[in-house]
């Protein structure tokens, strides 16, 4: 559960790093040496000079002074530092238990997979940052941003599942598998990925009206790019429309799940909580859109998506093999 809380914090800090446009402030990947921030004025000036060499500086921050650079540097450094903490908090006890052959029976492979995924996530994070350092780029690739965020939620989901499985030491009830909550969970993850594309392309600052988009249900520019598949990932009109549509699909799926399992006592708690969170998240998304995606609402919207996802995991776990 400590790891769950750390990963939640990592997602929130990552969101703040992106929303404050801080992600490219550290232009090198130094897993060991980078654990310490600049400790002298000369070191700060050296880091600032490196930042001035990338396209983002001249395109978006040409008037930035050293104080402004320190601010954005802090967010990226904090994000990376939290990643180091997460790796150590998992790796140290894992290795101690492995050496002493005291890993919980039947879970060693899953615990090893978490360790490997945390390492992979660090590499994906640098792969994402590197895309924004290239000539002609003033931000990271939305594809790599989506991969980075998607992996964070995969790790978060596995950790919560392992926690719930550890608490449920008596094992599963006999019965049939409940599939619909898993479909709802998968759709929630897809919606989070869609949100990453909204963030990565700045689509949340366009079409700031609801329920229509530029006076239409489907915006006129939905298929403006060729080939058509590119619109899903690169066209702000299509990206925002898809994110809106997935929200409606999620609400519909939830209504089906709530009705289908309304008499299952063990699912009542997660269903009620998930329903409240989904309504809140959709309302917050509309508010954020109409307000043209300010920092505070955008960050709250991302944090709320974490709560929705965790509750969907809880619901899916409760229904994994249920007698009813």
Backbone phi, then psi, for 221, in 5-degree steps?
-90, 20
- Quote the mean pLDDT of the chain: 92
User: What separation in angstroms does the CA of 312 have from each of 8, 79, 184?
Assistant: 15, 26, 7
Q: Which residue has the tokens 């969101």?
A: 15
Task: Please provide the distance, in angstroms rounded to a whole number, between the alpha carbons at the two ends of the chain.
Answer: 29
Q: What percent of the chain has pLDDT above 90?
A: 79
Question: How confident is the model over 17-52, as pLDDT tens digits?
Answer: 998 889 999 998 888 878 888 999 999 999 999 999
Q: For residues 161 and 111, give the distance between their C-alpha atoms in angstroms, rounded to a whole number.
A: 11
Is 216 strand, coil or helix?
strand
Question: How confident is the model over 115-169, as pLDDT tens digits?
Answer: 999 999 999 999 999 999 988 888 899 999 999 999 999 999 999 999 998 888 6
Is 322 strand, coil or helix?
strand
Specify the higher pLDDT residue, 168 or 5.
Answer: 5
Q: Is the pLDDT of residue 248 over 80?
A: yes
pLDDT for res 91: 96
DSSP 38: P
Q: For residues 13 and 303, give the distance between their C-alpha atoms in angstroms, rounded to a whole number.
A: 10
Question: How confident is the model over 269-313, as pLDDT tens digits?
Answer: 999 999 999 999 999 999 999 999 999 999 999 999 999 999 999
For the chain, how big is the Rg over CA atoms in Å? 22
Q: For residues 301 and 287, give the distance between their C-alpha atoms in angstroms, rounded to a whole number.
A: 10
Buried b (16+ CB within 10 A) or exposed e, 271-287: bebbbebbeebbebbee
Q: Is the pLDDT of residue 323 over 80?
A: no
When pLDDT is averaged across residues 246-256 and rounded to a whole number, the result is: 97
Cα four-point dihedral sign 4, 116, 301, 305: negative
Number of H helices and E strands in the chain, helices first, is: 11, 0
Q: What's the predicted TM-score (pTM) here?
A: 0.93
Q: For residues 152 and 136, give the distance between their C-alpha atoms in angstroms, rounded to a whole number.
A: 28
């Amino acid at each position: 559960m400590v790891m769950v809380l750390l990963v939640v914090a990592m997602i929130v800090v990552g969101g703040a790093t992106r929303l404050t446009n801080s992600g490219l402030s550290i232009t090198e990947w130094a897993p060991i040496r980078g654990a310490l921030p600049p400790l002298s004025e000369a070191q700060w000036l050296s880091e600032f000079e490196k930042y001035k060499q990338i396209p983002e500086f001249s395109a978006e921050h040409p008037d930035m002074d050293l104080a402004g650079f320190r601010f954005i540097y802090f967010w990226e450094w904090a994000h990376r530092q939290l990643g180091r903490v997460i790796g150590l908090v998992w790796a140290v006890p894992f290795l101690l238990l492995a050496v002493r052959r005291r890993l919980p029976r039947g879970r060693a492979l899953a615990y090893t997979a978490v360790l490997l995924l945390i390492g992979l996530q660090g590499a994906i994070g640098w792969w994402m940052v590197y895309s924004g350092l290239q000539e002609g780029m003033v931000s990271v690739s939305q594809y790599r941003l989506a991969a980075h965020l998607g992996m964070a939620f995969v790790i978060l989901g596995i950790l919560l599942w392992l926690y719930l499985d550890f608490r449920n030491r008596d094992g599963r009830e006999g019965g049939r598998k409940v599939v619909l909550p898993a479909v709802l969970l998968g759709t929630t993850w897809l919606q989070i990925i869609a949100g990453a594309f909204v963030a990565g392309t700045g689509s949340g600052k366009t079409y700031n009206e609801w329920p229509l988009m530029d006076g239409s249900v489907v915006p006129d520019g939905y298929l403006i790019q060729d080939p058509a598949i590119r619109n899903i990932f690169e066209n702000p009109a299509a990206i925002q429309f898809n994110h809106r549509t997935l929200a409606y699909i999620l609400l519909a799926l939830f209504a089906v799940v709530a009705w289908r399992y309304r008499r299952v006592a063990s699912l009542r708690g997660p269903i009620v909580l998930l329903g409240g969170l989904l309504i809140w998240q959709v309302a917050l998304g509309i508010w954020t859109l109409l307000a043209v995606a300010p920092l505070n609402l955008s960050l709250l919207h991302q944090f709320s998506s974490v709560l929705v996802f965790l509750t969907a995991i809880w619901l899916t776990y409760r229904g994994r093999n249920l007698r009813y």
